[in-house]
Amino acid sequence: MAARPQPYLDDLNPAQRAAVLALDGPVLMLAGAGTGKTKALTSRIVHLLATGKARPNEILAVTFTNKAAREMKERVARMLGQSVEGMPWMGTFHSISVKILRRHAELAGLKSNFTILDTDDQLRLMKQLIVAANIDEKRWPARMLAGLIDSWKNRAWTPAKVPSSEASAYNNRGTELYQQYQDRLRALNACDFGDLLLHVVTLFQAHPDILAQYQRWLKYILVDEYQDTNVAQYLWLRLLAQAHRNICCVGDDDQSIYGWRGAEVGNILRFEKDFPGAEVVRLEQNYRSTEHILAAASGVISGNSDRLGKTLWTEAKGGEKVRLIGHWDGEEEARWIGDEVEALQRGSRSMEAQSLDHMAILVRASHQMRAFEDRFLTIGLPYRVIGGPRFYERLEIRDAMAYFRLAVSPDDDLAFERVVNTPKRGLGDKAQQEIQKTARASGMSLLEGARELLARGGIGGKGAGQLRAFVDGVDRWHAAILNARPEVADAVIEPMVPDAVPQSDMGHVRLAEVILEESGYTSMWQNDKTPEAAGRLENLKELVKALEQFDSLQGFLEHVSLIMENDTEEAAEKVTIMTLHGAKGLEFPVVFLPGWEDGLFPSQRSMNESGQKGLEEERRLAYVGITRAERLCTISFAANRRVYGQWQSQLPSRFIDELPVPHVDVLTPPGLYGGGYGAAGMGGGSRIEERATKADVYNSPGWRRLQDRSATRPISQPRESKQQVIDLDAVSSFTEGDRVFHTKFGYGTVAAIEGDKLDIAFDKAGVKKIIARFVVPAHE
């Protein structure tokens, strides 16, 4: 052991220390969240450097994100007490693979300046091949082929290695197209993301001399978040490690959340087989979270059947229970969380004042972020969105807003430029320059320039018809805003949408939808088969939903420009909004987990696509979410959410049922019952009619289960809360003679009860059979 002091070892428990000191030979550290795996891994790097066992360029450290790699370098430097002179081999699988591949590109049939295709390019290329192969792209979309090829690459199968059991894939043409695709990529001197790993693995396999060189250079290999590696990554690691066997992998099978990207938990089991004699380190003490948080997370994950199983404990006894709260809708959820964040910042909960940096909102789907961003912008609460642009900065949102801007002011040239050829309208650079020139020559707006150019036949081909349709579209939308009927479209022009909706008395929300439909913008994303397209469509729906809170498109646009303007001032502290996937490995004293509703979380898509396996992966995601919290974890759900433009009543997530009761505090939702949703109010608002009634919430099985559970002990009230306890009896059942209210039929009296159906004698509408959850007790 080196003579210098090793204070970094003092911070570790015996199991961690053993993992750090066992520098030579294979080590597998398999342990639950917050047990200090990453800390041990980092200390191991420090130890390698401090003892002189390895130089910085001899350590290969693979982490999940570039951000994690940067943080690790900083931590190492801090622990060493000196800056680390470059650690070139610390990064993600992809970033390290690029480095290797650039050096040996010619062996993979590429030049060293090869380009890396993004998903769009990848799909475009595949489409060309599909068309050339005479395959009906509608039945066999490019996205399907892309997914197939990706999954083969994740398993490290080159076209020649795809097993015959896959021969029927993609209408029996999968393997053939895969080969063609790879040939095309080579001809283009390009590779896609999956290739980065695949080429390196193939290269190492074909050229033992080169592999041996890397084995000599990279003496020590460390891998964080090992549970999320796929087969190709595993082989990559195994090839590099098999000579010296100095490989240390740390992970947690319960946190495997990238199955859809081909990650295989089975790699954990393979490790011990491939590296016999591996030291297996188990860590059981959690240093991150309080007892209640840990117990809640353990309770949820115990619902999974396929687990290696482990014990977790913490010295942090007591603390706050996991808080659970249901809300009326997503907006109310955002409002409540905003208020809570501010209360915690002031220190008016049971904790001392918390910095905004200590708080995070972790969502299942990125479209959930909009409600929080809007609310936080409105109340001036600084926030950061990690892992993606903020809502109003997203590509599809900026495009859609450009359409709205044009509709409001057709002279908005910037907006015109942005969308005139999005979706593609056959207007090349030349045509667009012509428009610019014409407009400039007569000092007109681009829209007017386009109109004039069309009038004098200055634009030819397919572009002319489409440009005319675009110009007419803007005219129609603008006219709709001025609430005047648009001029009847010229009969020779093909309309953008066959049945243009009559627009005379259209509300601005509907108009926004119409604009996105008629312009072809929505269908552009509907026809787009990239993985991002679905998310973009969801964001567009979110945008339309946001409009509801304003009187007009113009009012909305003003709001957005004002809040964006305000926000340019950099705040020092910010609350974090990010997805659960992105939060892996991170920790925050205070965590909010909104949107725990069946269909949203667990997500319907993952359950549809992968059944029980999908559900188990969602459950691991729930485990990841809860275990990010150090001291306070709040789970919430809403009874109503607008999904694809429709109000839907939501059921609390099944994961809520799996939270162990003794570790959970059920808070009473604000606003519900007596809090502004009175029967009279319900009759008045037309929007409310579309939504579930209050009784829906109360009578939903999920809500009942929840209340039954909390009814076994007194519902504890959050401090300083004005909230009321729900009188369960008053809402969960009706008896004959009860006066009730229905949003459509008005007031009535319950005449008979049969299961969940009520015969109600309405004062005005006569006797009707109504499902109980569609009425509320009347407050006359």
Over the window 26 to 55, marking each residue x when it contacts Mg ion by CB under 5 A and - when it does not, the resulting string is -----------xx-----------------
Evaluate the CA torsion angle 14, 15, 17, 23 in order and state its sign.
positive
Shortest gap between Cβ of 43 and ligand ATP (angstroms)? Answer: 9
Type of residue numbered 187: A
- Positions that interact with ligand ATP (CB under 6 A): 11-13, 16, 33-39, 252, 255, 287-288, 585, 587, 627
634 is catalytic: no
* Catalytic residue (one of 192, 195, 225, 597): 225
CB atoms within 10 A of CB 396: 22
Choose among ligand ATP, Mg ion, none what residue 12 binds, the Cβ cut-off being 5 to 8 Å by kind: ligand ATP
> Which CB, 287 or 550, lies closer to ligand ATP?
287
Shortest gap between Cβ of 118 and ligand ATP (angstroms)? Answer: 29
Choose among ligand ATP, Mg ion, none what residue 536 binds, the Cβ cut-off being 5 to 8 Å by kind: none
Crossing angle (nearest 10°) for helices 37-50 and 66-80: 50
Element at 215 (helix H, strand E): helix 208-217
628 is catalytic: yes
- Tell me how far apart the 2 most distant CA atoms of the chain are, in Å: 93
Restricting to residues 241-280, which ones interact with Mg ion according to CB under 5 A?
A: none
378 marked ligand binding residue: no
32 marked ligand binding residue: yes
Judging by DSSP bridges, how do beta strands 757-762 and 115-116 pair with one another?
A: unpaired
* Catalytic residue (one of 224, 373, 587, 597): 224
111 marked ligand binding residue: no
* Catalytic residue (one of 620, 628, 642, 654): 628
Choose among ligand ATP, Mg ion, none what residue 35 binds, the Cβ cut-off being 5 to 8 Å by kind: ligand ATP
Shortest gap between Cβ of 73 and ligand ATP (angstroms)? Answer: 15
CB 605 within 8 A of CB 537: no
**166 CB contacts (<8 Å, ≥6 apart)?**
152, 174, 175
Shortest gap between Cβ of 313 and ligand ATP (angstroms)? Answer: 13
Choose among Mg ion, ligand ATP, none what residue 151 binds, the Cβ cut-off being 5 to 8 Å by kind: none
37 is catalytic: yes
The number of CA neighbours under 13 Å toward the Cβ of 297 is 33
Shortest gap between Cβ of 285 and ligand ATP (angstroms)? Answer: 7
Residue ranges of alpha helices (H) inside 568-603 are none
> Which CB, 255 or 522, lies closer to Mg ion?
255
38 is catalytic: yes
Task: Choose which of 91, 194, 463, 585 interacts with Mg ion (CB under 5 A).
Answer: 585
What would the two tokens of residue 617 be? 């992966």
CA 595 from centre of chain: 12
What would the two tokens of residue 322 be? 């996991």
38 marked ligand binding residue: yes
Shortest gap between Cβ of 40 and ligand ATP (angstroms)? Answer: 7
* Catalytic residue (one of 16, 38, 202, 634): 38
Residue 275 sits at the vertex; the CA angle it makes with 273 and 281, to the nearest 5 degrees, is 95
Nearest to 264 by CA among 137, 140, 349, 156: 156
430 marked ligand binding residue: no
> Which CB, 63 or 290, lies closer to Mg ion?
63
407 marked ligand binding residue: no
* Catalytic residue (one of 37, 451, 584, 654): 37
Type of residue numbered 116: I
Evaluate the CA torsion angle 604, 606, 612, 617 in order and state its sign.
negative
> Which CB, 287 or 677, lies closer to Mg ion?
287
Q: How far is CA 486 from CA 294, 403, 503, 551, 575, in A?
A: 62, 17, 8, 21, 46
What would the two tokens of residue 222 be? 């460390």
757 marked ligand binding residue: no
35 marked ligand binding residue: yes
Element at 640 (helix H, strand E): strand 629-643
Choose among Mg ion, ligand ATP, none what residue 11 binds, the Cβ cut-off being 5 to 8 Å by kind: ligand ATP
Choose among ligand ATP, Mg ion, none what residue 653 binds, the Cβ cut-off being 5 to 8 Å by kind: none
Q: DSSP letter for 608, please.
A: H
255 is catalytic: yes
Residue 173, classed as helix, strand or coil, is coil
Shortest gap between Cβ of 42 and ligand ATP (angstroms)? Answer: 8
Shortest gap between Cβ of 459 and Mg ion (angstroms)? Answer: 58
The number of CA neighbours under 13 Å toward the Cβ of 566 is 15
Residue 670, classed as helix, strand or coil, is coil
Residue 713, classed as helix, strand or coil, is coil
> Which CB, 35 or 653, lies closer to ligand ATP?
35
Choose among ligand ATP, Mg ion, none what residue 173 binds, the Cβ cut-off being 5 to 8 Å by kind: none
**589 CB contacts (<8 Å, ≥6 apart)?**
354, 358, 359, 629, 630, 631, 632
> Which CB, 34 or 449, lies closer to ligand ATP?
34
225 is catalytic: yes
Burial of residue 739 (CB within 10 Å: 0-12, 13-18, 19+) is middle
Which residues are part of the catalytic machinery? Answer: 37-38, 224-225, 255, 628
Annotated binding site for ATP: 31-38
User: Using CB under 5 A as the criterion, which residues of the chain lie in contact with Mg ion when the complex forms?
Assistant: 37-38, 585
Known binding positions: 31-38
